[in-house]
Structure 1
Amino acid sequence: MLKKLLGESAIYGISSIITRFISIFLVPIYTQVFSPSDYGIIALTIASFSLLGLFVVFGLDSASALYFYEFKDPEEQKKPIATWFWTQLTISIFFSMVIISFSKSLSAILFDSPNYYGILILGSLQMIFYTFTSVLQKWLRFQRKAFTTVSLTLATSLLNIALTILFVIYFEWGIEGIFLAMLVSSFLNFLLCLFMMKGWLSFSNYDRKLHKKMISFGLPLVPASIAYWVSNSSASYFLNFSLDQTDVGLFQVGASLATGVLLVTGAFQMAIGPFIFSQKDGPDIKLLINRVFLGYISITTIIVSAISIFAYEILVILTREAYYPSKSVVPVLAFNFLLLGLNYIGALGLNMTKDNKPYMYAVISGAILNVLFFFLLIPIFGIVGAAWSMTLSNIVATSIIFNSSIKRYPIKFYFSRGLQIVIIGAIVSFLANPWVPEQFWIGVLWKVLLVLILVLVIGLISFPKLKLNSKIVTTV
């Protein structure tokens, strides 16, 4: 079973690597076109729509996954998909109309200028068509069609990037070009969705009784999702309030580098949910989850450390000097992304027992702490303070999630080994990140050697427990 999960994760991971590599290709172009302040405006807009998206989805994407696997009849499986789709589409249209109606006022509130109302209109329209993209991708994942899902995701990314280059670089439409590219690619995905999901999205498949059950399951996820957004996407607002849009832009560039961790976490998250739910009645499910836990920490810590160690070199290659200060937030945010993926693994036990309330309490507690840390640390430490605020609050949330999950679905996780791996990776990352070598390529060689040594050490710690013939032990 573990081999199947790794195989699906590898497919998703290859897609993430290719897509992110193509995205990184745009960074040196963007840094020549946009100032750090422009990046700040882009970050604030994306953060705003990500928050709005939580209300649009309403937790029904997670609920649809649960009930999809409970139905064995293919005709019955259409009900949770269609119920989710029509609910999200209705809500997204409502919010879109509100944003369009008050776009100039909202622009003045967000950016201290009404002149950016156009990007809010484009973003709100894209939100409607993204419903189709979201449902189509999840529908393919539910059916374990990893290759098709990846092909669609990759094609969408390539199209969006090509359109972005066309609109931003060739036509010189600035920030508006970025959001117009998103809108056009989402519209084309809307057409593809109608073609591929014939019969699935018919309103006749909408089930009112099932809708109530899905709302009951998804409702606790909404405040949790809002709290999650506060912990991981609201930094732009607090930085803009305490500092300025330039600092928002610098923070965003550093965060973009740190999201390289999503090459691992994104692949695992896309594969783990459908795979674990499809195997939940198997005799070795707890052993599988335990190995996933340790394997995730091992691989992700290596990625986190490598990105942190080479942050300066990456910025030199991809950006210009105005963006070099971004490197200071990379290791903190990279470990924060590690925690986010870990939360997903920790919450598997809660999903198995259909009790998401502890997850909600954990994320809300983390969000409250995050806001408090923002007010305390940003005025003192600037963008680094914002990064530490997010990471410290997520440490608390992660601890609560695992503790609650183990009480309801007992698993003897390899916590001690996982903690050893994270501590070693953190020490290496934070010591090497500030180093700016006098000779660029000589420094690169030394850092490569450092990463190789780290890989060896982590492998020695984790491999004995990841061998296929290993058994769950009574101690951790």
Structure 2
Amino acid sequence: MDKYKKLISNTIIFAISTFSSKVLVFLLMPLYTRVLDTSAYGVTDLLMNTGNLLLPLVTLGVVNAIIRFGLDREIDKADVFSTGLRTILLGFLILVVAEPFIVPYMGPVLSLLDIQEDMFVQNIILIDAFVLMSSMRSLCSQFIRARGLVRLFAVDGILSTVTTIFFTVLFLVWLQMGVAGYILATICADFLSVIFLFTTGRLHRFLKLRGISRGVSGRMLRYCVPLIPNTICWWITNTSSRYMVVAFLGSSYNGIFAAANKVPALIILVSGIFMDAWQMSAVTEEKGRNKFFTRVFRSYNALIFMTAAFVIMFAKLITKILVAPAYYEAWSFIPLLVVSTVFTCMVNFLGSIYMVEKKSMHSLATAVLGAVINVVLCLVWIPSLGVNGAALASLVTYVAVFLVRAVDTRRYIRMNISYLRLVVNAVLLIGQAVLMIFEVPFWPVWQALLTALMVLLNFKEVLEGVRKIVSRRSSKKAGSRA
């Protein structure tokens, strides 16, 4: 199959999965914000993010190696899956054994984060279960994707949506379990997803109780272990601001900030649909990579900027629809978060080059840079600028990391990036953000004009990407007829 056709085909399939598993759950925001007040939602956000921090530590980041080595045709997939499973189970066992020695000393930290120690202890079993089920689901879903079973991956996304919605309504509305219900809904949905993928994907055939290739296991761990601090650094960049918002402003503001972060998730949604398919093409395609990466990046970049322009323009409307009135203030934090998210998407695309070349240490170095910049700026700007200080810190961080990666990755794949177009797009988007935040006179008119200009500047790039795919498909048909 032609590489462009394969990319668009996988993107469509992943779009079906992502729409069901992320968009519909995203639409549960009105339920979350009405059942949980701003303080409870802020605490829930911190607990879930704490679980996300534990994931790379417990799993040694092995899930990152599943897709990369699983796509390698020369490696036995049973060695890949069994290495991943053993690593996760061993890491979880160490977590459970270590917790009784760690938790008693967490009182001062919990107090700083405005989390009651009794509530944390009561929910620690749920956090453990969340870590285990999330790790297992990631292992199974990434391995299914590595085997090329993208349709099964999509079906799992749809079923996961149904179960998540069911358990959310059950635990939050009917049983009114609050914070615990929010976490438990995710655990139950992940558990059923693991059962479904394990049985329908017949993953038992790839289990090895003994005889796992030490060479494969060693290569996987050498690849993924440097990604542990890499993942932690990105967690710090993306999440540490939440903890500092709580420390400086209180958990209620973090609840509003957490709600505001859900809106830029629309851009992450568009990006994530593509990146799931792109990772497979980036690894498996070897001919004409420079041209291939350049063409795809330009179309991807154009689509992300256009999506961001529309999200900023409709930020108030989206917020009013998605959240309860107590959270409406969140709209004022969205514009800067959207601009930051655009650069996040571009950083992730450049990260795929490190994945292809297995340069995890380079990925780590840039992640450390981002974490340091973000923490320093948050400490300076949150006390003086409030929640928007955290959003601005995130924006500056991702711009800096993008510039460093754009230069560094050229030694591996020389993409022809149009920096002039990139700067113009960024200026337009930042202009939209400023106009929205300060609500300048006639701001809706200015928003519409700038969004229209953004579409005019970028639509051609997206259209050319589509034409590239269509022309290749047409030429292949013509060749077969001849």
Q: Same fold per TM (> 0.5)?
A: yes
Contact (CA 8 Å) 2:290, 2:413: kept in 1 or not? no
Contact (CA 8 Å) 1:132, 1:189: kept in 2 or not? no
Partner of residue 34 from structure 1, selected from 23, 36, 59: 36
Query: What residue is the counterpart of 2:133 in the other structure?
Result: 129
Query: What residue is the counterpart of 1:370 in the other structure?
Result: 374
**SS of match in other structure, 1:338:** helix
1:7, CA displacement in angstroms? 2.4
Query: What residue is the counterpart of 1:273 in the other structure?
Result: 279
**Compared CA separation, residues 230 and 238, structure 1 to 2 (3 A):** same
Paired amino acid for 1:39:
Y
**SS of match in other structure, 2:134:** helix
Partner of residue 217 from structure 1, selected from 194, 204, 223: 223
1:311, CA displacement in angstroms? 1.3
What CA deviation, in whole Å up to 9, does each residue of 1:432-457 have, x standing for no partner? 4554999xxxx989966764553233
What CA deviation, in whole Å up to 9, does each residue of 1:36-67 have, x standing for no partner? 11111011111111111121232322323332
User: In 2, Cα distance between the equivalents of 1:100 and 1:192?
Assistant: 33
- Whether 1:379 and 2:360 are equivalent positions in the alignment is no
What CA deviation, in whole Å up to 9, does each residue of 1:71-98 have, x standing for no partner? 336xx12212211221122102321444
User: In 2, Cα distance between the equivalents of 1:120 and 1:187?
Assistant: 18
1:231-380 equivalences in 2 (<5 Å): 231-279=237-285, 281-282=286-287, 284-380=288-384
Paired amino acid for 1:381:
L
Query: What residue is the counterpart of 2:186 in the other structure?
Result: 182
Partner of residue 6 from structure 2, selected from 1, 4, 7: 4
**Compared CA separation, residues 151 and 246, structure 1 to 2 (3 A):** same
User: In 2, Cα distance between the equivalents of 1:275 and 1:461?
Assistant: 20
What CA deviation, in whole Å up to 9, does each residue of 1:396-428 have, x standing for no partner? 112112211112333323333333333323323
**Compared CA separation, residues 98 and 182, structure 1 to 2 (3 A):** farther
Partner of residue 55 from structure 1, selected from 54, 57, 80: 57
Query: What residue is the counterpart of 1:113 in the other structure?
Result: 116
Q: 5+ unaligned residues in a row in structure 2: which ranges?
A: 470-482
1:156, CA displacement in angstroms? 1.1
Query: What residue is the counterpart of 2:208 in the other structure?
Result: 202
TM-score by length of 2: 0.88
User: In 2, Cα distance between the equivalents of 1:402 and 1:137?
Assistant: 30
**Compared CA separation, residues 285 and 269, structure 1 to 2 (3 A):** same
Greater shift after overlay, 381-390 or 87-96? 87-96
Contact (CA 8 Å) 1:297, 1:421: kept in 2 or not? no
TM-score by length of 1: 0.89
**SS of match in other structure, 2:27:** helix
Greater shift after overlay, 237-246 or 217-226? 217-226
1:109, CA displacement in angstroms? 3.7
User: In 1, Cα distance between the equivalents of 2:422 and 2:453?
Assistant: 18
User: In 2, Cα distance between the equivalents of 1:100 and 1:178?
Assistant: 24
- Whether 1:89 and 2:86 are equivalent positions in the alignment is no
Paired amino acid for 1:64:
I
**Compared CA separation, residues 463 and 63, structure 1 to 2 (3 A):** same
**SS of match in other structure, 2:359:** coil
Q: CA RMSD in A?
A: 2.7
Paired amino acid for 2:14:
Y
1:142, CA displacement in angstroms? 1.1
**SS of match in other structure, 1:199:** helix
Contact (CA 8 Å) 1:167, 1:181: kept in 2 or not? yes
- Whether 1:79 and 2:79 are equivalent positions in the alignment is yes
